[in-house]
Amino acid sequence: MDRIIWLSALTYFLLIASLIFSYYVSKGRYRTIVIVIGIGSLTILTWALINNKIMDYQDANIGLGLIFMLIWIITIIAFLFSVITYSQTKRES
């Protein structure tokens, strides 16, 4: 299989898993922030993959790499946010 398919599948899985965990840990307005960030990230990644498939660049696609790096950073931040929030709620309990 193509390497981009495995990379995008792993990215989708990690992003959705961290956003689901963040959603269940957070409360109030933080839930809406998590939803907006999640939908925005998934939309950007989907748009980039469709654009890459349609245009079929022969040279290096720097935009696709930058979008993957942006989504990975968003995924890491969402995961760290959920871990910090989870540890604070456990400490208060």
| pLDDT tens, residue by residue, 74-86 | 888 888 888 888 8
**Residue 82: other Cβ atoms inside 10 A:** 22
Portion of the chain with pLDDT greater than 90, in percent: 2
| pLDDT tens, residue by residue, 17-49 | 888 888 888 888 888 888 888 888 889 888 888
Q: Are 17 and 77 in contact (CB under 8 A)?
A: no
**Residue 61: other Cβ atoms inside 10 A:** 16
